Chains A and B, each alone.
Chain A
Amino acid sequence: MQLLKSYILPRVAQWAVVIFVGVTVTFLIPRFSPVNPVDEMIGRMTAFQTIDPAAVVAMRATMEDLYGLDGSLLEQYLAFWRRLIQFDLGPSFQNFPTPVNEFISAGLPWTVGLLTTTTIISWLLGILVGSLVGYNQHRRWAQALERVVIVVYPTPYLIIALILIFIFAFYWPVFPMTGGAQGTPALTWDYISSILRFGFLPALSIVIGGFAFRFIMAKALSTSEIASDYVQYAELAAVPKRRIVMSYVIRNTMLPHVNDLALSLGAMFEGALIVEVMFGYPGLGSKLFTAISNADYNIIMGIVLLSIVGIATGSLIVDLLYPVFDPRVRLR
């Protein structure tokens, strides 16, 4: 009960604030931008053809209705929330009557699958290797590895993906370039293995990027941890090195990592978006990219809102798991 009051409720409140701020910002952006999206849209539609002026006026009215641009700002804002709560994101412009929901739900499983797998792999791998390097920082292999990571860490996901495309899809074509899977969706080995094969390069790009970030943090944390007395005592007592790293150092540096995982989900998601575009992976990133080139404003809006809610919820879940790792929070 104490836990609920002192930890869970404030955290849920924070989640609500995140979504409130995110949705409000998303609502305000098109309304305060110097370019009116409706004018822009009509300009684009009438650029290469002549349309009856009466039809343009009618179109403008329809679009203002679609964008929710009629009425006062407050009315628009309330209507925006109302539609959002009903999951009504409006129709796509490019494929007119098809609702945006349909596009998003087609892409969502791919992104969620890719992101979950790569987040878990890169997080675990980063902590493990980073701590090992932090513990053995005077060994040559550790220093070499650290130098590699120092080059990888500031490199944008886009560039990592480009380089992987260079190597694996062009010079040494072992993995397919674009797509998500082959054959008809079914629980057969052929289909599942094709998912793995197609997903390998996108996943590898995200894992490399996420790993570098986690590695640097794990190395910094474990470097300060091994200076503490208990590690030196364990060394004097001839506790096996593997046990010192695995059961002492990593366990003691775990809490900041769990805490930080919630904060870094957004960055991982951004990486996943761009990597999906690069590899033509059929997730939200590719949908977003197609929508950008078609100026399909409703789909972009829908993906922005979904990603805010999704990332906020993801980090809420991670934070709610925190008491499992930290008895101080659990037993307060």
Chain B
Amino acid sequence: MLTTLRDLLRFSLSFRFGALILLLVAVAVATSFFAADPPEKRRVVPRKFRGEPPSAQYVLGTTTLGQDVFWMTVTGIRNTLIIAGIAVVIGRGIGVMLGMISGYLGGTTDRVIQSIVESVIVIPRLPLLILIAVILKGGLTFVSLGILIGLLDWAYPSKRYRAQVLSLRERDFTHTAIFSGMSTRKIVVQEHLPFIIPFLLADMVSGFVFSIGIEVTLSYLGLNDLNSLSLGTQIYWANEWSSIFAGKPWVMIAPVVSVIVVAVGFYLVSIGISEYLDPRKRLVRLQTHAQDDAAADHDDDPRKEKEQ
């Protein structure tokens, strides 16, 4: 695990930047737990500081309603990541299961699942999400919004996992395992999962990019729990009180910049991991390792690398 991380940091520029950004994001999330007052509470800031631009005391400025934009933003980042995290876990969960079922069972099951998956890919998701969110309006919480986004984001991932399974099934070691009498369950869990899990990881990271985008979009349309803070609801309220035209753009700039930074961070990390999984890049890496210390024993087997 540590070797993997070291390699990633060493060989991938985008991973290095991405990891740095995500580290900052993690610090922001950790900070959000230390807010003196609940950040959504109004009239916290003394009257004479309300609606002021960024200053030494209020780093990101304040709103006219007496909220501190810094605490709002760090809490918003945390809540947006909670929504996106739930969505990613659910979406990838369904995706992995469908992809593996489809890939392993094959035949008619595969064809039926694939034609449904192909349809779901083509169907635009935003209008459907809006329809559901409008029906549930008022009853939507962060958790249910996350579940909702997840339930509509599994089609592309499941296709990728199916492709993975199909290629794994034809590898030599699978045939060896079958002929040596290993049970199917054991082959899947012990031989194939170690190959799938890194892909799952890269996929989960990139899944955040989509979920954050959808959360912000739905909130902007007023379809989130508008009394709680997320980056999306923050943008919604900044827009609702027309902060830009009232000459208080910092209320809007903080969440907008945060969305970009967080999304770019996740995207860079996912580029880094995919590069790491690329077999051509792996060769370069192994050569460098060999030059580094000839004594270290590095195998081409990903499971070996995990144990180290």
> Which of B123, B221, B256, B267 is packed against the most chain A CB atoms within 10 Å?
B123
Taking residues whose C-beta sits less than 8 angstroms from the other chain, chain B's interface range is 35 or more
Task: State whether A269 and B124 are in contact (beta carbons under 8 Å apart), knowing that A26-B131, A156-B216 are contacts in the complex.
Answer: yes
Decide if A155 is an interface residue (CB 8 Å cutoff): yes
Q: Are A154 and B256 in contact (CB under 8 A)?
A: no
Please measure, in the bound complex, the distance between the C-alpha atom of A150 and the C-alpha atom of B213, giving whole angstroms.
15
Whether B126 and A292, one on each chain, are in contact in the complex, defined by CB atoms closer than 8 angstroms, is no
- CB-CB under 8 A for A156 and B263, given A150-B14, A295-B134: yes
Please report the C-alpha to C-alpha distance between residue A196 and residue B74 in the assembled complex, in whole angstroms. Answer: 40
* Complex alpha-carbon distance, A273 and B126, angstroms: 9
Known: A34-B139, A273-B127. A18 touches B267 (CB 8 A): no
> Number of residues in A with C-beta < 8 Å to the partner?
54
**Which residues of chain A (1-47) have a CB below 8 Å from chain B?**
14, 17-18, 20-22, 25-26, 29-30, 33-35, 37, 40
CB contacts (< 8 Å) of A273 on chain B: these are 126-127
User: Considering the chains assembled together, what is the distance between the CA atoms of A14 and B263 in angstroms?
Assistant: 34
CA distance A35 to B138 in the complex (A): 10
CB distance from A219 to the nearest CB of B (A): 12
Q: Is B260 interfacial (CB 8 A cutoff)? A: yes
Across the interface, do B122 and A315 meet the contact criterion of CB distance under 8 Å?
yes
Name A291-314 residues within 8 Å CB distance of B.
292-293, 295, 297, 300-301, 303-304, 307-308, 311-312
Chain A residue at smallest Cβ distance from B123: A22
Number of A-B contacts (CB under 8 A): 142
Could you mark each residue 98-124 of chain B with 1 if its beta carbon is under 8 Å from any beta carbon of chain A, else 0?
000000000000000001101111111
- Least Cβ–Cβ distance between A12 and chain B, in angstroms: 13
In the bound complex, do residue B135 and residue A35 qualify as a contact, i.e. CB atoms below 8 Å apart? yes
Give Cα distance in the complex from A107 to B186, angstroms. 56
B69 at the interface (CB under 8 A from A): no
B175: Cβ under 8 A from any A Cβ: no
Kindly state whether residue A80 has any CB partner on chain B within 8 Å.
Answer: no
Interface contact B222-A308, CB-CB below 8 Å: no
Q: Across the interface, do B124 and A151 meet the contact criterion of CB distance under 8 Å?
A: no
A295-B137 in contact given A14-B115, A170-B244, A300-B130 (Cβ < 8 Å): yes
Task: State A267–B127 Cα separation when bound (angstroms).
Answer: 11
The interface residues of chain B lying within 8 Å CB-to-CB of A274 are 126, 217, 220-221
B120–A293 CB distance below 8 A: no
**Distance from B301 Cβ to chain A, minimum over Cβ atoms (Å):** 25
Is B131 within 8 A of A308, CB to CB? Answer: no
For the complex, is A176 an interface residue (Cβ under 8 Å from B)?
no
Question: Which residues of chain A from 150 to 172 have any CB-CB distance to chain B below 8 Å in the complex?
Answer: 150-151, 153-159, 162-163, 165-166, 170
**Is A289 part of the contact surface with B, judged by Cβ < 8 Å?**
yes
* A307→B130 CA distance, assembly (Å): 12
User: B132 at interface (Cβ–Cβ under 8 A)?
Assistant: yes
B303 contacts the other chain (Cβ, under 8 Å)?
Answer: no
Please give me the residue from chain B that is nearest to A288 by CB atom.
Answer: B130
Q: Across the interface, do B119 and A277 meet the contact criterion of CB distance under 8 Å? A: no
- Bound state CA distance, A67 and B124, in angstroms? 23
Which residues does chain A contribute within 8 Å of B41, judged by CB atoms? none
Instruction: Flag whether A266 is at the interface (Cβ < 8 A).
Output: yes
Across the interface, do B221 and A292 meet the contact criterion of CB distance under 8 Å? yes
B217, B252, B263 interface centre (most CB from chain A within 10 Å): B217
Are B122 and A18 closer than 8 Å at their CB atoms? yes
Q: Which residue of A lies closest to B219 (CB)?
A: A158
- Closest chain B CB from A34 CB (angstroms): 7
Q: Is the CB of A304 within 8 A of B264?
A: no
B251 at the interface (CB under 8 A from A): no
Does residue A102 face the partner (Cβ distance < 8 Å to B)?
A: no
Find out whether the CB atom of A35 lies under 8 angstroms from the CB atom of B132.
no
CA distance A170 to B253 in the complex (A): 14
Most buried by B among A151, A162, A292, A297: A162
A267 to B214, CA, bound (A): 11
A17 touching B115 by the CB < 8 A rule? yes
The CA of A263 and the CA of B119, in the complex, are separated in Å by: 10
Check A293–B235 contact: CB distance below 8 A.
Answer: no
Question: Are A159 and B259 interface neighbours, CB within 8 A?
Answer: yes
Question: Please, which residue of chain B has its CB at the minimum distance from the CB of A155?
Answer: B260
Q: Are A26 and B128 in contact (CB under 8 A)?
A: yes
Pick from A156, A165, A266, A267 the residue with the most CB of B within 10 Å.
A156
A303 contacts which chain B residues (CB < 8 A)? 127
Known: A35-B139, A156-B216. A266 touches B123 (CB 8 A): yes
Contact A18 B235 (CB under 8 A): no
Indicate if the CB atoms of A14 and B118 lie closer than 8 Å. yes
| Contact status of A266 and B115, CB under 8 A, knowing A26-B131, A170-B244 | no
Mask: chain A, 235-272; 1 = CB below 8 Å from B; 0 = not: 00000000000000000000000000011011101100
Q: How far is the CB of A33 from chain B (nearest CB, A)?
A: 5
Contact among A155, A262, A266 for B259, CB-based, below 8 A: A155
Question: A292 to chain B: which residues have CB within 8 Å?
Answer: 130, 134, 221-223
A162 contact from B126, B132, B136, B256, Cβ within 8 A: B256
The answer to whether A154 touches B264, judged by C-beta atoms less than 8 angstroms apart, is yes
Tell yes or no: B125 within 8 A of A by CB: yes
Q: Report the separation of the CA atoms of residues A265 and B121 in the bound assembly, to the nearest whole angstrom.
A: 10
Q: Which residue from chain A places its CB closest to the CB of B144 in the assembled complex?
A: A34
**Assembly CA distance A18 to B114 (angstroms):** 12
Interface pairs (24), CB distance under 8 Å: A22-B119, A35-B139, A150-B268, A153-B267, A154-B263, A154-B264, A156-B216, A156-B217, A158-B220, A159-B216, A159-B260, A263-B121, A265-B122, A266-B122, A266-B124, A270-B124, A289-B221, A292-B221, A293-B222, A300-B131, A300-B134, A303-B127, A304-B128, A315-B122
Given contacts A154-B267, A266-B123, 12 further A-B contacts (CB under 8 A): A17-B118, A25-B123, A33-B135, A34-B136, A40-B137, A155-B264, A273-B126, A277-B221, A288-B130, A292-B130, A292-B221, A315-B122
What 6 pairs across the A-B complex have the smallest Cβ distances?
A: A156-B213, A154-B267, A270-B126, A154-B263, A266-B124, A18-B119
